A and B are shown apart, each in its own frame.
Chain A
Amino acid sequence: MKIGILAIQGDFEAHRKRLEELGAETVLVKTAADLENLDGLVLPGGESTTHMKLLTEEGLFDRIVERARTGMAVFGTCAGAILLAKEVKNPAQPSLALLDITVVRNAYGRQLESCVTKQTADLTGRPLEMVFIRAPVIERVGSDVQVLARRDGQPVLVRQGRILAATFHPELSSDPAVHEYFLKMVRDGR
């Protein structure tokens, strides 16, 4: 099973480390050619404005949308969730629009509001550690979107078909549950 990690900016190494610990083969994706033959793609944390700009310049944008529509599983964390959202606010910005949610950028506030919290998640049925860094908030979820975890009632981990998004950073947590779930999702869909 081959998982690509978008490596144009952000914490892609943390994702790579976690995925390799779980036995996946990983590829760092910097150009459209790197997307070939992938079973899944991770969009890491980082700055969504930087990611959008480089995705467009490298021709990755259209290719990711195409591959996702033909079955490649995609998992976005924080900035990655912003890239996947159908609608982005604060401010409005273009996105891949693969997931029927509305996200509000930096909605908790600045870095001083970043935190680590533990909340019971539907995904695991037990407390799941969540690391939030200048995180966005999911303001709206479409009717086909399944909520897998919440923070104080608000959705923070959601899935629609082959697309998974977290507003927190499972790659910075010692709990591998979310990445395990993604790998299972990739396997089940092959």
Chain B
Amino acid sequence: MAEELNFSTDPQWRVKVGLAEMLKGGVIMDVTNVEQAVIAEKAGACAVMALERVPADIRKEGGVARMASPKIIRDIMKAVTIPVMAKARIGHFAEAQVLEALEVDFIDESEVLTPADEEHHIWKHSFRVPFVCGARNLGEALRRISEGAAMIRTKGEAGSGNIVEAVRHMRAIVGEMRKLTTLGQEELVAAAKQMGAPLDLVAWVARNGKLPVPNFSAGGIATPADAALVVQLGAEAVFVGSGIFKSTDPEQRARAIVKATTHANDPKVVLEASEELGEAMKGLDVRQLEEKDLLQTRGW
């Protein structure tokens, strides 16, 4: 089997994954207005996600959650110099086309928004702007990469302020990758069948022991220690959604999570970052949520 994936030498693919590489070791923060975007940038965010409502509010308010209005996104793009991401509904390629026309730097095809297509995700190779997609396990991650995702993040359980699902998903992805590295060629074919992922990608992971794109964590990070936890479990960067602007001390917390992400392996620094913080967002016990209220089961 060839050493490279059939699309990995494509210049367009390389600059997509290239931008994802630049975000490694950083924190990408959800923001809903210019003021929050500026706070995030000053706190050391390596990118912001422009949204109309953070996941905790989407959960509370219900209704259909769609792509943010172009005006909010454009205002945020003007206000900060770091990359700006925005979310499109799963399968809603027309929303993604609008976001590309708006020239956002990254699109998150996200389960946080109400899915537009329950059978198909967006064919992301046909876009010039890079995409990030959520995944709960390795098979799902590789299906999204085969469609053109240039970055994977755990789904976790967005808006819950509870790290348990992000941990479950990161452990699943990392554990399954480790297992693949021990398999023989004929076993890889069976593994590809079982996880519903293309064989070339399964074989690539088996050879390299990692994803062919950066592997980030999202969905429930609320404290500096949460960030340190997922980084030590294998996350190459973290997304913080409701965790910052739903806390009582957004500026301080944003700075603290940035620091803890950089120094995830140094408990003394994570301790320092954790001192003098106010209250974290209240959070939800994911076990008390009904199946219909879970965001992570959207998409496949």
Contacts and interface: CB of A to CB of B under 8 A. Distances in A.
Contact of A10 (B24, B43, B83, B259): B24
A105 interface: yes
Contact of B44 (A12, A49, A91): A49
A46 B258 CA distance: 14
B103 A47 contact: no
Nearest to B9: A174
B14 interface: yes
Contacts of B129: 111-112
B130 interface: yes
A57 B258 CA distance: 12
A94 B8 CA distance: 37
Interface residues of A, number: 36
Contacts of A111: 15, 19, 83, 103-106, 129-130
A153 to B, nearest CB: 21
Given A50-B44, A53-B44, A112-B103, A172 B81 contact: no
A169 interface: yes
Interface string A1-33: 000000111111110000000000000001000
Nearest to B26: A9
Given A9-B24, A12-B25, A13-B24, A54 B258 contact: yes
A116 interface: yes
B96 to A, nearest CB: 13
A5 to B, nearest CB: 11
Contacts, number: 108
B46 interface: yes
A172 B18 contact: yes
Nearest to A57: B259
Interface string B31-43: 0000000000111
A115 B11 contact: yes
A49 B82 CA distance: 8
Nearest to A105: B81
A134 interface: yes
Given A30-B262, A54-B44, A11 B22 contact: yes
Contacts of B133: none
A76 interface: no
A131 interface: yes
A184 interface: no
A114 B19 contact: yes
B167 interface: no
Given A10-B25, A12-B25, A169 B18 contact: yes
B81 A49 contact: yes
Contacts of B202: none
List 10 tightest A-B contacts by C-beta distance, closest first: A116-B11, A111-B105, A114-B15, A11-B21, A9-B25, A47-B46, A53-B44, A9-B26, A133-B18, A50-B44
12 contacts: A9-B44, A9-B46, A46-B25, A47-B22, A47-B47, A78-B22, A109-B103, A116-B15, A131-B15, A133-B19, A134-B22, A172-B21
Interface of B: 11, 14-15, 18-19, 21-26, 41-47, 77, 81-83, 100, 103-106, 128-130, 258-259, 262-263, 266
